[in-house]
Amino acid sequence: MKHYLLWGLLSVAAFAKVHYAKVEPYESVVLKAAVSGLVTEVELDAEGRTITHERVIALDDKLDKINLSDTKKSVVLLEEMLKLNEAIARSLKESMERQKGYFERISKLSTVSKTQKDNAFSAYSAAKTQYLGTKEKIISLKKQIIDMQYRVAQLQDSIEKKSIVLKDCYLYKLMVREGDFVVPGTPLARVDDATRAKLVLFLEPEELENISQKHIYINGKESRFKINKVWKVADEKFISSYRTEIYIPAPKDHFSELVKVELK
């Protein structure tokens, strides 16, 4: 009787170490809109295949492109105005310094009348005021150029975000259609990283003991894989178990195959 009880306990223990996991893509992400816009293009034929480099969704960016072109022209004009005013400032500075030198020379001469001295000071003050006014305009132009360049960057970023281009990923599903209007946060597409795969297990606390020393068997055969990630907080659904992930190469044919996993 004792032998039967021992055999039963061993069978339960062995069974507890057998898990079944689905071969899943390494990562699944839902892409969401970063800007508002009308959907003008959706490549429905791209669903269900790996995309090397292709635009799959486009939002209306006509006004952004017009605005970008005009803003770039404004930057060029402002830069030309800046160069012109800098040249004017150099000329005004020379005139101001001459007026200053003339005033300083005659201000100490007793043979020069007070009226001449006052006129010289007024001329110097006017030249200085004109020079400083031009310098102020130069500063204003530089600020406008910085603002315009920032506007250019904003428009370029908006245009880029209105074109959803996928590179080396699997397009599982497109969530919008042509004619839809999206706002920031609207789900656009689900994409998977199918370059590698993972197995998700939910292990009991006792199975986690010496987990790094255990060998992983896939469908009854010992593998070279290891436990890559273990959650320290119990799962919300499987409240007495801990989520664990094993990273494996991507399957040659299809994902979602159910495999048997044993930890020994």
Q: What does the alpha-carbon distance between residue 25 and residue 38 come to, in Å, rounded to a whole number?
A: 31
- Do 79 and 141 lie in one domain? The reply is yes
Asked whether residue 6 is assigned to any structural domain, the reply reads no
**Given 159, 190, 209, which residue is the final one in a domain?**
159
Asked whether residue 52 is assigned to any structural domain, the reply reads yes
State yes or no: pLDDT of 254 exceeds 70.
yes
Q: Which of 235, 55, 260, 237 is nearest to 246 (CA)?
A: 260
The pLDDT value recorded for residue 90 is 96
pLDDT digits (tens, 9 = 90+) for 186-238: 999 999 998 899 999 999 988 888 888 889 999 989 999 999 999 999 888 88
State yes or no: pLDDT of 11 exceeds 80.
no
- Do 169 and 252 lie in one domain? The reply is yes
pLDDT digits (tens, 9 = 90+) for 80-107: 999 999 999 999 999 999 999 998 899 8
State yes or no: pLDDT of 13 exceeds 80.
no
The pLDDT value recorded for residue 173 is 95
Helix and strand numbers, DSSP H then E, in the chain: 3, 12
Asked whether residue 10 is assigned to any structural domain, the reply reads no
Confidence of residue 137 (pLDDT cuts 50, 70, 90): very high
* Tally of domains within the chain: 2
3-state DSSP assignment of residue 198: strand
Q: Which of 254, 251, 241, 250 is nearest to 201 (CA)?
A: 241
Share of the chain above pLDDT 70, in %: 94
**Given 142, 159, 176, which residue is the final one in a domain?**
159
Structure tokens at 229: 């990630």
Across the chain, mean pLDDT equals 90
Residue positions counted in the chain: 264
- Do 110 and 144 lie in one domain? The reply is yes
- Do 115 and 51 lie in one domain? The reply is no
Q: Which of 167, 174, 176 is nearest to 190 (CA)?
A: 174
- Do 208 and 143 lie in one domain? The reply is no
- Do 251 and 237 lie in one domain? The reply is yes
The CATH number linked to 226 is 2.40.50.100
Asked whether residue 214 is assigned to any structural domain, the reply reads yes
Please give the residue range of the domain that contains residue 68.
Answer: 62-159
SS (H, E, C) 104-139: HHHCCCCCCCHHHHHHHHHHHHHHHHHHHHHHHHHH
**Given 136, 159, 182, which residue is the final one in a domain?**
159
Section 28-46 average pLDDT: 96
- Do 153 and 66 lie in one domain? The reply is yes
Tell me the pTM: 0.75
